[in-house]
């Protein structure tokens, strides 16, 4: 049986990098099936895929062996094997459209090798949407002070040990302590075209400013609110005479699409973040 493996790699750009990486695989008798590379501001970024046998060395052994290449190049890199299921956890508040999109895309097989392990929400109204997909829903009441609810959320996370967390229109700020304690990346969907309209009420701000396109932004979560590295963005035209409520309704379509795409990129290990920017591979 064959499985896919991938390498995410970046280092300061210089001559000969591609040859070094390719030789590593050639020498081990492995055939690269997908090779992407970009140079960005003097840094080289690459993602490779190849097929592995079941008996193949583990990611840890590859990581060890690859030191010979990476040291000379001052590189950062990660190996992933798409063999065991990744666990995705989702957070939601009262607006379920981004969550629903992910639940349905998952059901349609769009996130292979992924299990949606749990959903944490602060409204009971969303429970039936999650449970009809036979996914555990955990209600955790939230407060103005995150210290009052984050411990309970982290306990649930601890129990599932997810590989990725998605904030599917979860409308509470998360603390730096929370981010550090999840031990996995967190992807958020923000309902504006960042960096415009940071924080709460972005549609209201977009309306006030009279923009002609409204947008949505999915990004990795960092301690600074809505400042993390952007994975994906989308926009949709604002119609004349459109009210804030109509903008919100139309905006849900672009939010859910941007969020689902960003989660897919993160789950398939198609992103490298570097100095608050994200290189996204095809």
- Which residues form the interface with a copy of itself (CB under 8 A)? 15-16, 18-19, 22-23, 25-26, 31-41, 45, 96-97, 100, 104, 108, 110, 132, 193-197, 208-213, 215, 229-235, 239-243, 249, 252-253, 257, 276-282
The widest CA-to-CA distance across the chain, in whole angstroms, is 64
CA atoms of 188 and 194, how far apart (whole Å):
12
> Of 54, 110, 163, 226, which one is the catalytic site residue?
226
Q: Minimum Å distance from CB 103 to a copy of itself?
A: 10
Q: Minimum Å distance from CB 185 to a copy of itself?
A: 16
Residue 27 or residue 147: which is nearer to a copy of itself going by CB? 27
Residue 75 CA to its chain's centroid (Å): 23
Catalytic, 226? Answer yes
- The single-letter DSSP state of residue 238 is P
Q: Are residues 38 and 279 in contact, defined by beta-carbon separation less than 8 angstroms?
A: yes
Q: Minimum Å distance from CB 22 to a copy of itself?
A: 4
E strand or H helix that includes residue 62: helix 59-73
Residue 30 or residue 140: which is nearer to a copy of itself going by CB? 30
Closest CA to 79 of 57, 60, 65: 60
Q: Are residues 48 and 32 in contact, defined by beta-carbon separation less than 8 angstroms?
A: yes
> φ and ψ at 226, to 5 degrees?
60, 25
β-bridge pairing 186-190 and 164-167: parallel
Residue 72 or residue 151: which is nearer to a copy of itself going by CB? 72
Residue 1 or residue 108: which is nearer to a copy of itself going by CB? 108
CA atoms of 208 and 65, how far apart (whole Å):
56
Residue in the structure block whose two tokens are 């601890």: 158
Q: Minimum Å distance from CB 270 to a copy of itself?
A: 10
> φ and ψ at 43, to 5 degrees?
-120, 140
Q: Minimum Å distance from CB 244 to a copy of itself?
A: 9
> φ and ψ at 160, to 5 degrees?
-95, -25
Residue 157 or residue 258: which is nearer to a copy of itself going by CB? 258
Catalytic residue numbers read: 226
């Amino acid at each position: 049986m064959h499985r896919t493996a991938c390498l995410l790699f970046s280092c300061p750009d210089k001559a000969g990098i591609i040859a070094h990486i390719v030789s590593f695989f050639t020498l081990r008798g492995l055939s690269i099936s997908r090779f992407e590379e970009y140079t960005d501001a003097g840094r080289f970024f690459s993602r490779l895929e190849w097929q592995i046998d079941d008996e193949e060395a583990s990611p840890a052994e590859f990581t060890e062996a690859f030191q010979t290449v990476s040291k000379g190049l001052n590189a950062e890199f990660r190996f992933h094997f798409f063999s065991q299921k990744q666990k995705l956890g989702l957070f939601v508040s009262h607006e379920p459209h981004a969550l629903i999109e992910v639940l349905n895309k998952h059901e349609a097989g769009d996130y292979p090798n992924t299990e949606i392990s749990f959903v944490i929400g602060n409204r009971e109204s969303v429970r039936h949407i999650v449970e009809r997909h036979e996914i555990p829903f955990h209600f955790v009441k939230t407060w103005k002070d995150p210290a009052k609810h984050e411990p309970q959320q982290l306990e649930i996370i601890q129990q599932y040990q997810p590989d990725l967390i998605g904030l599917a229109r979860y409308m509470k700020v998360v603390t730096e302590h929370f981010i550090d304690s999840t031990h996995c990346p967190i992807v958020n969907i923000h309902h504006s075209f960042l960096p415009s309209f940071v924080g709460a009420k972005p549609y209201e701000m977009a309306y006030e400013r009279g923009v002609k396109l409204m947008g949505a932004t999915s990004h990795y979560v960092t301690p600074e609110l809505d400042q993390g590295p952007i994975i994906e963005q989308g926009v949709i035209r604002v119609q004349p005479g459109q009210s804030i409520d109509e903008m919100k309704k139309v905006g849900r379509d672009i939010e859910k699409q941007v969020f689902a795409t960003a989660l897919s990129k993160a789950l398939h290990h198609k992103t490298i973040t570097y100095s608050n920017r994200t290189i996204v591979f095809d």
